[in-house]
Amino acid sequence: MTGRCTWVPETDPVYVAYHDEEWGVPEWDSRALYEKLILDGFQAGLSWRTILYKRPAFREAFEGFDPERIAAWESRQVDTLLGNPGIVRHRGKIEAAIVNARAWLALEEEGAGAVAHLWSFFGGKPVQNQWAEGEDVPATSPAGTALSKDLKARGFKFCGPTIVYAFAQAVGMVNDHLTTCPRHAPVAALAARSPSPSR
């Protein structure tokens, strides 16, 4: 595949696979959305490549990113993770994952649940952007900023506007593949078949 989005290092097979198979694909699973939000928080100040290569270790260390399990963690688990070289060992981000798991579970019990709530900031369906050049793609958006403010008000950590917009791009709330990218049209087609968000 040629003509991919300009941020993809063509010589990195893991990055290429992430772009071709995951990035921008609409995600409606609650656990998967929680995982991606947490990993984007861990990315703060780092490259996504660092997180991508450590993702298998993260998934093992964080018990499959099950928010119910993580919400029950205490200082013992934090200390264990701080000794795990396979992940990003940052106390604040590890503790934020626990705080965010508890906030996520609270959101699940409110209204239509976490999935529908997050998607509602983007109109409940993927936004189809039409960017022609890499420099046209924004780092955030009004919807991303509004979602960031909402999450912060609910007690979430490491969820600033840039992090939240990167999350929205990754989970297909917005289709930010360039119009010249071979993945733009297939992702748009997936969006057309996306179910209504639910628990």
177 is known to lie in a ligand binding site: yes
5 among annotated binding-site residues: yes
Q: What are the structure tokens assigned to 153, written together?
A: 């008000």
Q: Is residue 115 classed as helix, strand or coil in its secondary structure?
A: helix
CA–CA dist 104, 114 (Å, integer):
7
In 3D space, the residue among 160, 194, 172, 140 whose CA is nearest the CA of residue 43 turns out to be 160
Q: Is 184 annotated as a binding residue?
A: no
Residue 117 known to bind ligand: no
The residue ranges of DSSP E strands in the chain, in sequence order, are 127-128, 174-175
Q: With beta carbons less than 8 A apart as the criterion, state whether 161 and 144 touch.
A: yes
What is the Rg, in whole angstroms, of the alpha carbon atoms belonging to the chain? 17
Question: Which residue numbers belong to the known binding site for Zn(2+)?
Answer: 5, 19, 177, 181
Question: Which residue numbers belong to the known binding site?
Answer: 5, 19, 177, 181
